[in-house]
């Protein structure tokens, strides 16, 4: 067992390294890649590739001096470590040299930490470390006692918060051009999700205006999608906002979404009819109903309630002081994302497990909603987690959700058929009644097939969903 004694400094660029090399300093270059397999309150364990060897290191302690145990391992052990890695791999180029007779290095990070440059100086004793004075290197700031700059924290939390330009993110969000790659795991969840909600708000307003001007179905569809995403994220991210605030807006966005449901159902039914040979009377009735719903939606979206509700929501999103912040708002963005994903995965697996042949369609529809909530959450959180298991499961989730969506559409279309048949002019038309019965047969067959497909695949999917939970728990150890 040895003792690691080092001081660490953050550099604002690689200019110092370039300058030292131009002055003739002898520098050796090494490419390093390391993954962490254990991070807890006692310490950390990592496996590093140096290009010529694979070293497992265990560290205990914090700050200036830490206990360190090293041993060489096989290439196989190194590659197997990626399967249970915590956080992102640490990739960097290390430039080693002597600084005032001490071993020193400049690490230029790559991959997920690209842009970060750190200078480390190693010492034999604590006295030497305390007595050391760094030359007047421009742009160097000591971060020895800042836990955020420890490699294991960089793996889990990413580049520390000061590298996040919130003004830029909010500007991007207002322009509907948010770059999730600029998010950092260590930024506060309150700030991170306010940025996301701001982009969704901008999209809602944009597509509302476009729909009112053009009456295009796609504009209404995008309006609905962003309303649903907003409501779903509010339901999925625990205690980000004050409970009363969250509940108010969850209910409000549901009210708005509900006003567009009938139009959406008629649109989907119209597309379904276009694939079949049916009577013109049915098609005309559906088209007339769609036009009527367009008018109702336009009236609703121009009334005072909608505008005042969205203005209130905008006020919440502009809260920089944390007035509306909930208990979890101070957590790091990745930490709260991991907690939210864990809850969604466990809830979906539990509800999926209860589905059987005897369950009514309503039970299937509730599971479909859980799939949507998970997908919306993953859209904004997936990039924070390098888990291969999670990425593989995402593909399965998307395919299964599509099947659930088709099942929901067929069930709704059955209800549309009932409404058409109840319409007096059509109910007495023999040709129409016959066509409706034929359509019921097609829909019934589809419903049976989709239910069967879901039940056949659910066991394997449950296993995959459950396997995703463990990697996420590594990010929640301090909660």
Mean pLDDT of the residues in the chain: 88
The C-alpha angle with vertex 389 and arms to 351 and 332, in degrees rounded to 5, equals 85
**Topology of the domain covering 2-157:** Hypothetical Protein Pfu-838710-001 (2.40.320)
List the chain domain ranges: 2-157, 164-331, 333-479
Over the range 106-116, which residues count as b (16 or more CB within 10 Å of their CB) and which as e? Answer: bbbbbebbeeb
Cβ atoms of 138 and 73 within 8 Å: the answer is no
Residues classed as catalytic: 36
- To the question of domain 164-331 being in CATH 1.40.20.10, the answer is yes
- For residue 478, what pLDDT is reported? 59
pTM, to two decimals: 0.71
Cβ atoms of 302 and 161 within 8 Å: the answer is no
The CATH number assigned to the domain with range 333-479 reads: 1.40.20.10
What dihedral angle (degrees, nearest 10) is formed by the CA atoms of 241, 243, 246, 250? 150
Tell which wins on pLDDT, 169 or 398: 169
SS3 44: strand
**In whole angstroms, what is the distance from residue 439 CA to residue 270 CA?**
13
Sequence-ordered list of residues with C-beta below 8 angstroms from that of 46, at least 6 positions apart, any chain: 34, 35, 36, 37, 56, 57, 59, 151, 152
Is the pLDDT assigned to residue 62 strictly greater than 70? Answer: no
Tell which wins on pLDDT, 280 or 325: 325
Which percentage of the chain shows pLDDT scores above 90? 48
Q: Do domains 2-157 and 164-331 have the same CATH topology?
A: no
Distance of CA 392 to the CA centre of its chain: 15
pLDDT band at residue 148 using 50, 70 and 90 as cut-offs: confident
- For residue 280, what pLDDT is reported? 79
Burial classification of residue 341, based on how many CB atoms lie within 10 Å of its CB (0-12 exposed, 13-18 middle, 19 or more buried): buried
- For residue 170, what pLDDT is reported? 95
């Amino acid at each position: 067992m040895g003792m690691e004694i080092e001081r660490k400094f953050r550099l604002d660029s690689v200019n110092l390294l370039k300058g030292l090399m131009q002055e003739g300093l002898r520098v050796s270059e090494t490419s390093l890649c390391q993954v962490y397999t254990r991070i807890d309150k006692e310490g950390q364990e990592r496996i590093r590739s140096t290009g010529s060897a694979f070293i497992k290191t265990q560290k205990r302690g914090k700050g200036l001096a830490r206990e360190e145990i090293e041993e060489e391992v096989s290439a196989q052990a190194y590659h197997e470590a990626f399967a249970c890695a915590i956080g992102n791999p640490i990739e960097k180029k290390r430039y080693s040299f002597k600084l005032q007779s001490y071993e020193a290095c400049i690490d230029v990070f790559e991959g997920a930490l690209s842009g970060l440059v750190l200078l480390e100086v190693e010492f034999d004793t604590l006295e030497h470390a305390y007595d050391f004075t760094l030359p007047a290197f421009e742009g160097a700031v000591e971060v020895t006692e800042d836990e955020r700059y420890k490699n294991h924290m960089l793996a889990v939390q990413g580049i520390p918060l000061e590298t996040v330009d919130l003004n830029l993110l909010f500007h991007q969000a207002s322009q509907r051009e948010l770059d999730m790659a600029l998010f950092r795991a260590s930024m506060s969840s309150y700030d991170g999700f306010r940025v996301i909600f701001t982009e969704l708000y901008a999209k809602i307003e944009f597509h509302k205006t476009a729909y009112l001007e053009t009456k295009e179905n796609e504009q209404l569809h995008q309006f609905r999608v962003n309303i649903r995403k907003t409501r779903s994220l509010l339901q999925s991210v625990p205690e980000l906002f004050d409970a009363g605030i969250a509940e108010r807006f969850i209910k409000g966005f549901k009210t708005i979404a509900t006003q567009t449901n009938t139009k959406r159902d008629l649109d989907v039914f119209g597309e379904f009819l276009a694939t079949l040979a049916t009577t013109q009377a049915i098609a005309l009735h559906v088209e007339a109903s769609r036009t009527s719903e367009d008018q109702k939606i336009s009236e609703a979206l121009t009334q005072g309630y909608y505008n005042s509700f969205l203005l209130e929501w905008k006020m919440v999103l502009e809260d920089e002081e944390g007035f509306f912040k909930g208990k979890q708002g101070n957590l790091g963005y990745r930490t709260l994302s991991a907690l939210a994903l864990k809850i969604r995965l466990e809830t979906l697996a539990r509800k999926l497990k209860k589905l059987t042949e005897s369950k009514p369609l309503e039970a299937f529809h509730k599971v479909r909603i859980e799939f949507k909530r998970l997908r919306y959450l993953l859209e904004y959180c997936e990039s924070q987690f390098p888990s291969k298991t999670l990425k593989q499961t995402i593909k399965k989730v998307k395919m299964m959700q599509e099947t659930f969506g088709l099942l929901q559409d067929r069930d709704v279309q059955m209800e549309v058929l009932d409404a058409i048949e109840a319409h007096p002019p059509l109910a007495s038309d023999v040709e129409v009644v016959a066509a409706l019965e034929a359509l019921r047969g097609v829909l019934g067959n589809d419903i049976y097939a989709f239910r069967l497909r879901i039940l056949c695949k659910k066991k394997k999917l449950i296993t995959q969903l459950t396997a995703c939970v463990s990697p996420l728990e590594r990010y929640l150890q301090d909660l």
